[in-house]
A = this chain, B = another copy of it.
Amino acid sequence: MKTLITGGAGFIGSHLADLLVSRDYYVLAVDNLSLGTIENINHLTNHKKFKFIKEDLLHLDKLKDSFQENKFDAVFHLAANSDIAASATNPEIDLNNTFMTTWNTLECCRIFHVNKFVFASSSAVYGDTIRELTEETGPFLPVSYYGAGKLASEAFICAYSSMNNIQSWIVRFPNVVGERMTHGVIHDFIEKLKSNPKQLEILGDGNQKKPYVYVKDLVEAMFFIYQTSKERLNYYNVGVEDQTTVTEIAKIVCEEMQLGNVELKYTGGNAGWKGDVPHYEYDLNKINSLGWRAKYSSTEAVRLAVWSILSK
């Protein structure tokens, strides 16, 4: 079984590569190394079932060459801008890195007859809403360019799937944490506390509350869905039952760094940045019915992620 992982040197992509290689899949990891790193895949580079190519998915001709040379059985498309906060002032980042990367990859699947496509989507497709998020229930009103890029990607995956009989799995991630993560609230807090262990500035009011999934749980779920769900078009939320607030994360970071009496200073407002969805909760009935549950809760995942950064 020959697979392509786009974004294969990234935070999540490299964990997926670990998993697929361990299951005896051949993996070609493609990454432009803008957010991914060689360090993430160093341990794999001598593996006989793993190969890495530095390439930007925006170069469609180069991507076609890779598809031509390798007869992929399946594509796991994870490449995307992953930093919602960073793209807030420049929509072109998500147009290109989140959406056009998907379109180019789909176009190669169409041309080279690859008929299995697994996609890393996001809770951001739902937008900012108080309802529990179920896969079927609209409206879908993304509030960030990132969410728009993911929803636009889903739209074209549906059409490509239908027009070309490409079996597709859309997996909507929650917040993902763990080894090799490159940014986000946990990172920020650790960096801030390293430079000032007395005070921690928290963006927003600290009540932002989201489900955090441990990265190894997530890639297991992705692989499980791919193997188990048999429709032409399959789409699932992946998550955990509980959620963790930003203030709780701050406290866990302080505990694990063994810092007492840190003053938490809030910038105020309910969202951490423009485009942020401060609260969401997944309905997980669909994936639970398929037979999957996360090993680690949201709060356990956060603690694991803190450990992994501190122990580097």
Residues of chain A touching chain B, judged by Cβ–Cβ distance below 8 Å, are 88, 91-92, 95, 99, 103, 106-107, 110, 125, 127-128, 135-145, 147-149, 151-152, 155-156, 158-160, 162-163, 233, 235, 274-275
Contact = CB atoms under 8 A, between A and B. Distances in A.
A178 to B, nearest CB: 28
Nearest to A159: B148
B110 A160 contact: no
Contacts of A92: 107
A159 B128 CA distance: 11
From A99, A136, A139, A144, name the one whose CB has the most chain B CB atoms within 10 angstroms: A139
Contact of A151 (B99, B106, B151, B275): B151
Contacts of A143: 158-159, 162-163
The number of times this chain is found in the oligomer is 2
A111 to B, nearest CB: 10
B107 A103 contact: no
22 contacts: A88-B163, A91-B106, A91-B156, A91-B159, A91-B160, A95-B103, A99-B152, A127-B162, A128-B162, A135-B139, A136-B139, A141-B158, A142-B162, A143-B162, A144-B162, A147-B155, A148-B156, A148-B158, A149-B155, A151-B152, A152-B156, A163-B275
A140 B140 contact: yes
Given A107-B91, A151-B151, A151-B152, A159 B145 contact: yes
Contacts of A274: 163
A232 to B, nearest CB: 10
A155 B140 contact: yes
